[in-house]
């Protein structure tokens, strides 16, 4: 069992939605936590409480600068590498050149960590590594197992290819240098601190501003396994505790939810009935993406604790309590494809 109180950890991208929630969990476990973030999509407000209390150390800057990456890695036992040029479906499809900078970012972070003698690297990978051609039929009861990611690869955009290369690089680091490494394949994460470029928060935001018509990208039949943030964070820590050999493991629920079912639930919670407008020319991603999580159950004794409708309710309540209508209405269209 890892004694987190004994460890110095670095969370890259620690001001992000997932990163900052991971930071909270590591601080609760008593670790010495350093965050590096350039705040390109991360938010200072997500870590403000720690900065005020002096419970974490923050380095602000771009990790593609090798000198900064070296400084960030100094004295660290475990790196959780979450920094990425990343957004939701609109961003991943329409900003491939930006997402391609992740190849350099990941390579530099891994190299600096190795040189600094870091014991272990845990990488935030993604369901986007899975072959697109397998995920086309929304009527198929498909669960993606880790082993179907193999040549010939067919990952989701340059974002997905960069995550795949990150995983393969960490496997090589383990084989060649004996370094402890592991990758978490996150599937469509949602929850408090999420932002509007991801589907669940976008739906809630549209309801919050009482959009009418209520726009849905695609025909609403896309199947996803939205996974609640607390389950993702718990899984990430268990990956750090249990995997050393570069294995990539799915962190995702096996609940299958269609986009349109999520929309109806959000509208039910809001209590209004707008006209639903399907925009078929907007990005949808694969029609059927759901994880098989048997490997995580076997290796980590992990299984999601939050059912989608419960997590959605909590996220909905958080969003409505913490946002301001005018501000959301002003930025929503922009946020759907940006970061």
Ligand X SMILES: NC(=O)c1ccc[n+]([C@@H]2O[C@H](COP(=O)([O-])OP(=O)(O)OC[C@H]3O[C@@H](n4cnc5c(N)ncnc54)[C@H](O)[C@@H]3O)[C@@H](O)[C@H]2O)c1
What residues line the site for ligand X (CB under 6 A)?
13, 15-19, 36-42, 62-64, 82-86, 105, 124, 126, 186, 188-189, 198
Q: Answer whether 166's CB lies under 8 Å from 181's CB.
A: no
From the list 44, 79, 86, 241, the residue with the least C-alpha distance to 70 is 79
From the list 64, 2, 55, 7, the residue with the least C-alpha distance to 27 is 55
The minimum distance between CB 14 and ligand X, in angstroms, equals 7
* Minimum CB distance to ligand X smaller for 83 or for 262: 83
The minimum distance between CB 126 and ligand X, in angstroms, equals 4
The minimum distance between CB 322 and ligand X, in angstroms, equals 17
List the alpha helices (DSSP H) in the chain. Answer: 17-28, 48-53, 66-73, 89-94, 96-99, 101-115, 157-177, 199-208, 229-242, 259-270, 294-300, 308-322, 325-335
Cα–Cα distances (Å) from 291 to 8, 21, 29, 172, in that order, read 32, 22, 28, 25
* Minimum CB distance to ligand X smaller for 107 or for 274: 107
The minimum distance between CB 186 and ligand X, in angstroms, equals 3
* Minimum CB distance to ligand X smaller for 38 or for 142: 38
* Minimum CB distance to ligand X smaller for 185 or for 206: 185
**Residue 2 backbone dihedrals phi, psi, to 5 degrees:** -70, 135
Quote the distance between the C-alpha of residue 253 and its chain's center.
14
The minimum distance between CB 115 and ligand X, in angstroms, equals 18
* Minimum CB distance to ligand X smaller for 32 or for 95: 95
* Minimum CB distance to ligand X smaller for 17 or for 316: 17
Beta bridge partners of 181: 121, 245
The minimum distance between CB 181 and ligand X, in angstroms, equals 15
């Amino acid at each position: 069992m890892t004694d987190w109180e004994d460890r110095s950890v670095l969370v890259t991208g620690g001001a992000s939605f997932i990163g900052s929630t991971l930071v909270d969990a590591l601080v609760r476990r008593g670790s010495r936590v350093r965050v590096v973030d350039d705040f390109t999509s991360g938010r200072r407000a997500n870590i403000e409480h720690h900065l005020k209390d002096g419970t974490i150390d923050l380095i602000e800057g771009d990790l593609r600068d090798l000198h900064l990456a070296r400084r960030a890695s100094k004295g660290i036992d475990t790196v959780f590498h979450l920094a990425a040029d990343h957004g939701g479906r609109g961003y991943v499809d329409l900003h491939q050149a930006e997402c391609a900078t992740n190849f350099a970012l990941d390579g530099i972070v891994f190299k600096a960590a190795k040189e600094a003698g870091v014991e272990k690297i845990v990488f935030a990978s993604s369901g986007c590594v899975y072959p697109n051609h397998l995920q086309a039929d929304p009527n198929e009861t498909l669960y993606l197992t880790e082993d179907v990611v193999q040549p010939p690869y067919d990952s989701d955009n340059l974002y997905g290819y960069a995550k795949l290369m990150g995983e393969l690089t960490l496997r090589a680091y383990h084989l060649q240098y004996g370094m402890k490494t592991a990758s978490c394949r996150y599937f469509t994460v949602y929850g408090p601190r999420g932002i509007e470029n991801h589907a669940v928060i976008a739906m809630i935001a549209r309801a919050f501003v009482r959009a009418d018509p209520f726009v849905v990208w695609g025909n609403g039949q896309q199947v996803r396994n939205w996974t609640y943030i607390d389950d993702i964070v718990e899984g990430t820590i268990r990956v750090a505790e249990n995997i050393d050999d570069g294995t990539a493991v799915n962190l995702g629920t096996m609940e299958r939810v269609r986009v349109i079912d999520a929309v109806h639930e959000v509208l039910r919670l809001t209590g209004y009935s707008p006209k639903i407008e399907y925009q078929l020319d907007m990005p949808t991603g694969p029609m059927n993406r759901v994880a098989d999580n048997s490997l995580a159950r076997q290796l980590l004794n992990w299984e999601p604790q939050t059912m989608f409708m419960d997590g959605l309710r909590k996220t909905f309540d958080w969003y409505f309590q913490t946002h301001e209508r005018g501000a959301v209405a002003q930025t929503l269209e922009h946020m759907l494809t940006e970061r």
